[in-house]
A = this chain, B = another copy of it.
């Protein structure tokens, strides 16, 4: 197996070495199961501290789709649906996991991956003005991703505006942070963990794409969901050896590792974006996180795909395609340099 120059996704490697080390170190400690162990408890305390939210409830789940399905299912009433961007992960790429749990995804058109507080307001007010609303799915929560599926970021003001409309209309606000490390590390970001913990009813801190083998840390406002443990179990999302999640997040939130991990990916992405701009190459959108969306011609696409792995994103005209390059906590400087070389040769 050859290690390739690949920018295809941010989950191509295993885990950050510090995680591996801690898992190995603690391997033969005997602990109770299901997240009741001391490593999980330590991780919860560190996350509460990082969020400045001493009363937050923290649960560790395994993956993103699972986390979205469990949290959204737990927060919605049976007759409610979840408002999301039409580009949102739950809208398209979760194989109907939200609907499997009985709920409709109520989509709004996205703006570079984001939904606007004004659009939410209009949607909800139209709903309540509709004489047939009792025959319709009630809007019960707002789902957003930070960063979005397009790598863009909600500003603090945008998040506050969403929080305000959610409070006014009695909706929950939930943030999917699958790539949260790459938001937190971006120079353009002004939304902290503390802001998220204050402004959202629930959000999750992504591990899978941010240095862990797997795992997502759900942060819930206190007493929001009674018996969330059993809900997790009922949905097959409870890890027997919860310590494996505990040790991973305990490591990620030790000595700012989660933030450093993000920084490395952002630095690499910035370097690539700068070179692309310098080369006069067109970015599809100027996302400030670890995903780079580039417009390439068919000829460029052909050549590049022989040398670099990336994601096909979208065909936008007869001879133009958008591709995605993703950096991560594991991106090596030498691979970035090789990529830049390829790009210079190409363009």
Instruction: For residue A120, give the distance in angstroms from its CB to the closest CB of chain B.
Output: 18
Given contacts A3-B29, A23-B14, contact A96 B236 (CB under 8 A): no
Contact assessment for A227 and B77 in the assembled complex, using a CB-CB cutoff below 8 Å: yes
In the assembled complex, which residues on chain B have CB atoms less than 8 Å from the CB atom of A240?
11, 63-64, 208-209, 214
Output the nearest chain B residue to A73 by Cβ-Cβ distance: B78
Contact with B along A29-68 (1 / 0, CB 8 A): 1111100001000000000000000000000001111111
**Helix, strand, loop or mixed for chain A's interface?**
loop
Residue from B11, B26, B138, B233 within 8 A of A135 (CB atoms):
B233
Report how many residues on chain A are interfacial, defined by Cβ distance under 8 Å. Answer: 81
Contact with B along A214-242 (1 / 0, CB 8 A): 10000000000011011101111111110
Contact assessment for B104 and A99 in the assembled complex, using a CB-CB cutoff below 8 Å: yes
Contact assessment for A234 and B14 in the assembled complex, using a CB-CB cutoff below 8 Å: no
* Pairs A-B, 10 closest by C-beta atoms: A66-B236, A14-B27, A95-B234, A95-B233, A12-B30, A96-B137, A99-B104, A79-B230, A69-B236, A96-B104
> How far is A186 from B147 in the complex, measured between Cα atoms in Å?
51
In the assembled complex, which residues on chain B have CB atoms less than 8 Å from the CB atom of A136?
92-93, 95, 230
Given contacts A95-B137, A102-B99, A236-B66, contact A27 B11 (CB under 8 A): no
Q: Is there a chain B Cβ closer than 8 Å to A270's Cβ?
A: no
